[in-house]
Amino acid sequence: MSKLIISENTGIRCSLCGNLSNTFIQEKGICICDICIMQSYNMIKFSKKKQRIQLYNLPYPRDIKILLDQYVIGQDSAKCYLSVAVYNHYKRLLRLNNKNDDDDVEIEKSNIILVGETGTGKTLLAKTIARLLKVPFTIVDATVLTEAGYVGEDIESILTRLLQVADYNLKVAECGIVFIDEIDKIARKGDNPSITRDVSGEGVQQGLLKLLEGSLVNVPPKGGRKHPDQDMIQVDTKNILFICGGAFDGIEKKIAKRLNMHIVGYAGKNIQNIDKDNLLKYISPQDLKSFGLIPEIIGRLSVLTYLEPLNRMTLRNILTEPKNAIIKQYIKLFEMDGIRLSFDEEVLNFIVDKSIELKLGARGLRSITETIMLNAMYEISSFSKKELYIDKDYAKKQLEKDLM
């Protein structure tokens, strides 16, 4: 039991500041003066007030999308869905902080699933959102998750990373956002439900259900495998927003099959209005079920949206327009060595054409540019001139040398 002592000329020094004090709290030989107590109280009060101000300064969906446009080219539909989901998540947290006992309306969270080809910007959207948010945000890879008892990471390790981002502040972590990448890699391998343990398919989906729905989960604080003697942190996932992303390679066949089933008699004329180059825009929860996601997990990912395949113009803009565009990054790298780097317009078009040819999406732009610039970066110390101009012949020669 702590003792409050108020007297004159005690001759006792504060354990924190070291000053003599007449008013202090004493417990187990530790003394804290009244000044340190007041300073600690004001620090805690200011910290809580600061957090409340952040929740009140809500960025509107339109503002979030404008910020996303500076880093991600195209994908307006996916940006709108993400912006609205993040904004509603903020409002939900704000309402929970100021909820009245008489208000019996409970706003449920809307988890999101993003479907798009590789290199279309799913992970980039998530990372860009992470820069803009004032709540804990983490990106995890579903491919490393396994059922308990197998080599790999437990499903609860997702929340371990969120705790680490929140500096193990439990209340803050329970208001965070988690992006689960490669969600399609844990799809069920067959059409029939598994009656045995599935190391990385249906079993992992079953384990994710409790996280997505909202429940109390025992999380190992340092990650890794769980064992009986390990201390656990109990995390409530009710207010954690989950955003899932996956390429779902081959799901276009499922969509095409479903669309053709509805062609009866003269209704076949409607098939001409279908965009065959972008079947993902017609995706539905039924297609995710056919691909291998169990109905329970589809129901908990209530918002389904897609990312459009990148055309030639979009890829060309990705090279130069965003704040962190690939070409801007290389120009900055050479600038740090005092060399002015510039590219011919034909080189940029050549890089885009090669990326389309190899079907690598936006990721292909970086790998192709890296191949072209590798030799120049290796020989950077021997440059006699302070300018470097990259033309198409040089780019073509470097790429052909690598392919050979």
- Predicted local confidence at residue 33, as pLDDT: 80
* Residue that terminates a domain, selected from 15, 37, 52: 52
Instruction: Report the alpha-carbon distance of residue 186 to residue 291 in Å, rounded.
Output: 11
Q: What's the total number of domains in the chain?
A: 3
- Burial class of residue 129 in the structure, from the number of CB atoms within 10 Å of its CB (0-12 exposed, 13-18 middle, 19+ buried): buried
Residues 280 and 326 in one domain: no
- Predicted local confidence at residue 150, as pLDDT: 55
Instruction: Report the alpha-carbon distance of residue 11 to residue 255 in Å, rounded.
Output: 82
Instruction: Report the alpha-carbon distance of residue 145 to residue 157 in Å, rounded.
Output: 9
Give the pLDDT band (50/70/90) at residue 1: low
| 101 or 142: which leads in pLDDT | 142
Q: Which tokens is 181 given?
A: 């990448």
Residues 377 and 340 in one domain: yes
Residue with tokens 């004493």, as numbered in its chain: 26
- Burial class of residue 213 in the structure, from the number of CB atoms within 10 Å of its CB (0-12 exposed, 13-18 middle, 19+ buried): middle
Residues 255 and 376 in one domain: no
pLDDT tens-digit map of 34-89: 778 877 777 766 554 444 435 456 788 998 899 899 888 888 999 999 999 888 88
* Residue that terminates a domain, selected from 281, 306, 331: 306
Residues 126 and 224 in one domain: yes
Q: Under 8 Å CB-to-CB from 337, ≥6 apart: which residues?
A: 380, 383
H/E run at residue 112? strand 112-115
Q: What is the CATH number of the domain that holds 376?
A: 1.10.8.60
Question: Helices (H) and strands (E) in the chain — how many of each?
Answer: 15, 12
Q: What is the CATH number of the domain that holds 189?
A: 3.40.50.300
C-alpha distances in angstroms, 391 versus 97, 347, 388? 58, 6, 10
H/E run at residue 392? helix 392-403
- Predicted local confidence at residue 53, as pLDDT: 35
The answer to whether residue 6 scores a pLDDT higher than 60 is: no
- Predicted local confidence at residue 52, as pLDDT: 44
Residues 275 and 342 in one domain: no
The answer to whether residue 310 scores a pLDDT higher than 70 is: yes
H/E run at residue 315? helix 312-320
Q: What percent of the chain is predicted at pLDDT more than 70? A: 80
Residues 138 and 227 in one domain: yes
Residues 247 and 131 in one domain: yes
Residues 336 and 353 in one domain: yes
* Residue that terminates a domain, selected from 306, 331, 355: 306
Instruction: Kindly give the residue spans of alpha helices, DSSP state H, lying in 100-197.
Output: 122-132, 157-165, 170-173
- Predicted local confidence at residue 267, as pLDDT: 47
- Predicted local confidence at residue 359, as pLDDT: 79
Residues 282 and 347 in one domain: no
**Whether 141 contacts 178, CB under 8 Å:** no
pLDDT tens-digit map of 312-352: 999 999 999 988 899 999 999 999 999 999 999 999 999 99
Instruction: Report the alpha-carbon distance of residue 7 to residue 20 in Å, rounded.
Output: 12
The answer to whether residue 263 scores a pLDDT higher than 50 is: no
> Going by DSSP bridges, is the β-strand pair 23-27/3-6 parallel, antiparallel, or unpaired?
antiparallel
| 330 or 10: which leads in pLDDT | 330
H/E run at residue 216? strand 216-219
- Predicted local confidence at residue 100, as pLDDT: 59
Long-range CB contact pairs, 378-385, < 8 A, 24+? 380/334, 380/337, 380/339, 383/337, 383/339
Instruction: Report the alpha-carbon distance of residue 333 to residue 338 in Å, rounded.
Output: 9
The answer to whether residue 8 scores a pLDDT higher than 60 is: no
Distance, C-alpha 258 to centroid of its chain: 31
Give the pLDDT band (50/70/90) at residue 227: low
> Going by DSSP bridges, is the β-strand pair 177-181/216-219 parallel, antiparallel, or unpaired?
unpaired
The pTM (predicted TM-score) of the whole model is: 0.73
- Predicted local confidence at residue 2, as pLDDT: 56
pLDDT mean over 14-25: 73
- Predicted local confidence at residue 5, as pLDDT: 57
DSSP 217-243: EEE-TT-S---TTS--EEEE-TT-EEE
pLDDT mean over 260-282: 65
Residues 279 and 357 in one domain: no
Stated length of the chain: 404
Residues 267 and 343 in one domain: no
Instruction: Report the alpha-carbon distance of residue 147 to residue 145 in Å, rounded.
Output: 7
**Whether 186 contacts 271, CB under 8 Å:** no
Residue with tokens 């600061």, as numbered in its chain: 50
pLDDT mean over 22-42: 75
Query: Domain span at residue 359?
Result: 315-403
Long-range CB contact pairs, 91-97, < 8 A, 24+? 91/58, 92/239, 93/55, 93/135, 93/175, 93/239, 94/55, 94/56, 94/58, 96/239, 97/52, 97/55
Residues 197 and 234 in one domain: yes
pLDDT tens-digit map of 347-377: 999 999 998 888 778 888 999 999 999 999 9
pLDDT mean over 386-393: 91
